[in-house]
Structure 1
Amino acid sequence: MSRRDSLPPLNPTRAFEATGRLLSVSKAADELCVTPAAVSRQVRALETFLGVSLFERIRGGLELTPAGARYLSDLMPLFSALRESTEGVMAGAPGRSNVLRIRSPATFAVRWLIPRLASFHRLHQDIDVQLTTGSAPLDFRREDIDAGIQLGDGDWPETHSQRLIPNELIPVAAPSRARRKGWKLERETLLHSLARPEDWTLWLKFAGFSTANTNRGMRYETSLLAYQAAVEGHGVAIAQKALVLKELEEGSLVAPFDMTLDRGGHTYYFAWPSHRPESKSLKAFRQWLAKVVR
């Protein structure tokens, strides 16, 4: 029997909740293990029953109507509680594990979290961490996740937060580039991250490079790509020191300047919703993180 065959029949509110949360019929269908046509039929049936439109079909996707947004806001806590109860029952069955859904920015996930996750699994073999990546602000009312990692000041509505790493900015480059005779930062190609567009401006002002042109250089979608470009000798990246320690220790990157800008409280935080009870799995993960970052 396939997973699709083993699931209960799709109902209209379940189809709407998944579609509204993901704002995608196809993604909702994947999550529910049904066809997009089945999801669309159930959503249309619900709209007919309620007598209101729940979505506006716009070019390239969907948007919730005001009525749809209110309805989704009421439904999501109910479905979240239902999922938690179901997973709690399933976790007690032989061979089943607890699932902890975490979202993180890609750079932090690859550079910091994933290398450490093995130690968590060794301590908690009954907890299955499901890690996804994304840079959008965490929204626990709309997303089907238990917790996440977010860059900021740690003060977000309806959210508890726990500070992770210091946010220290340093320029980094490949040794072959930074150790050339006559090397000067003003003549170098600056490697920027579109996710952190202000970092070079902040560091250059802090270090007194008032004449440097921050508009020049190359731009990458994430810091992860900018760091790799630096390793390959394409220019100088502005890096979060904690995320390039391995390369600095191995020597594939060097820090040409002994000047580190500490952004203080503006850094990565582990965040989880304050409007839901904290599960045992989430508490175990949070406590593990606290020990790892000491």
Structure 2
Amino acid sequence: MKQNYTVRHGALEGVEVFLAVARRRNFRRAAADLGVTPSAVSQAVRALEARLGAALFVRTTRSVGLTEAGQRFLDRAGPAFEEIVAAGEAARDVGQRPTGLLRLSVPRAVVPLILEPMIASFCRAYPEIELEIAASDEMVDLATGGFDAGIRLGQFIAPDMIAVRLTPAFSFVVVGSPDYLDRHGRPERVEDLRHHACLRLRRSNGAIAPWSFVDGNGTIEATVSGPLIAHDYPTLLGAALQGVGLAQIPRPVAEGPIAAGKLRPVLEGISATTPGVFLYHPGKRQILPKLRAFIDHLKSAV
């Protein structure tokens, strides 16, 4: 049997007119409330009654009353129509001013570096926005995951996304604790990494990320080995601080421990770079005010 794939029209046609007449018990007054002619009100009600297959009003020359079918329709349609109106007002509210739930997918390493310094000021500036931060290093689909935006390294953002730069380009630096380097020595070349404990990152697609270095205008990808595989940079950083081995991590993540003398960079002359950190979103339609407010606030803070 052939199915009907056409879109149903007119399910709500005439309902608002019916409710106006039922409230006023008068066609002329209902027409005035709606800003239309009494004739238009009568036609809309007759069309609704024809579609429902039941008379909704008892009409006399002096009064208008509800039939039993009309009363039942009023009891169910009245609250439902009010909910539809309220839903429209709520959607319009979100579309016109910064309000509602703002969900972001963010790598764990980005939270302390970029978000923590501005979360308090953003929440104070926009008290009607609920900010939800899902800290995960997995690449998620924003639409299916119900996220308004994500934050990622530039090379991992799909080309059909709108990307907003948050940081300059930076390098990936190989670091080790002073204790580890005292025990195992400093690697001077990529080949020396074969004799070191290298802490590795497993990407969200399941692959273990090679260590990348620059060689003139080209790139070297080194397959390394070691005692630990982690799914995020903060775990690698913590292990490197404990002297477990060497880790290749974004320079901003390691900057604090390097400055404090807790980690030492090696192989700096051939460090690979990344385009930087970006906020990204689909952006095919107008950006909702809540996301626009967050982007503007974040850009002013970083």
Question: Taking structure 1 as the reference length, what is the TM-score of the superposition?
Answer: 0.57
Q: Which position in structure 1 is the counterpart of 2:201?
A: 193
Q: 1:256/1:215 Cα in 2 relative to 1: closer, same or farther (>3 Å)?
A: closer
Q: Which position in structure 1 is the counterpart of 2:231?
A: 221
For 1:106 and 1:188, locate their aligned partners in 2 and report how far apart those are by CA, in whole Å.
27
Q: Which position in structure 2 is the counterpart of 1:31?
A: none
User: What is the root-mean-square deviation of aligned Cα atoms in Å?
Assistant: 3.7
CA-CA distance at 1:160 after TM superposition: 1.0
Is the aligned partner of 1:150 residue 2:161? no
Is the contact between residue 230 and residue 236 of structure 2 (CA under 8 Å) also seen in structure 1? yes
Letter in 2 for 1:236: L
CA-CA distance at 1:146 after TM superposition: 1.0
Q: Which position in structure 2 is the counterpart of 1:277?
A: 286
Q: Which position in structure 2 is the counterpart of 1:61?
A: none
Higher CA-based Rg: 2
For 1:158 and 1:84, locate their aligned partners in 2 and report how far apart those are by CA, in whole Å.
31
Letter in 1 for 2:174: P
Deviates more, 1:255-264 or 1:233-242: 255-264
* 1:220-262 alpha-carbon deviations (Å, 9 max, x no partner): 1222211110011101100100122222222322213432634
Is the contact between residue 167 and residue 241 of structure 1 (CA under 8 Å) also seen in structure 2? yes
Q: Which position in structure 1 is the counterpart of 2:66?
A: none
For 1:84 and 1:105, locate their aligned partners in 2 and report how far apart those are by CA, in whole Å.
35
For 1:224 and 1:281, locate their aligned partners in 2 and report how far apart those are by CA, in whole Å.
29
For 2:132 and 2:89, locate their aligned partners in 1 and report how far apart those are by CA, in whole Å.
15
Three-state SS of the structure 1 residue aligned to 2:145 is coil
How many matched pairs? 205
Three-state SS of the structure 2 residue aligned to 1:117 is helix
Spell out the pairing of 1:163-242 with structure 2 (5 A cutoff).
Answer: 163-165=165-167, 166-180=169-183, 182-184=185-187, 186=193, 187-195=195-203, 197-200=208-211, 202-203=212-213, 214-242=224-252
For 1:176 and 1:242, locate their aligned partners in 2 and report how far apart those are by CA, in whole Å.
22
For 2:290 and 2:110, locate their aligned partners in 1 and report how far apart those are by CA, in whole Å.
21
Q: Which position in structure 2 is the counterpart of 1:258?
A: 268
Spell out the pairing of 1:1-294 with structure 2 (5 A cutoff).
Answer: 85-86=90-91, 88=93, 98-153=100-155, 156=158, 158-165=160-167, 166-180=169-183, 182-184=185-187, 186=193, 187-195=195-203, 197-200=208-211, 202-203=212-213, 214-259=224-269, 261-265=271-275, 267-293=276-302
For 1:213 and 1:103, locate their aligned partners in 2 and report how far apart those are by CA, in whole Å.
29
Question: Taking structure 2 as the reference length, what is the TM-score of the superposition?
Answer: 0.56
Unaligned residue ranges in structure 2 (runs of 5+): 1-86
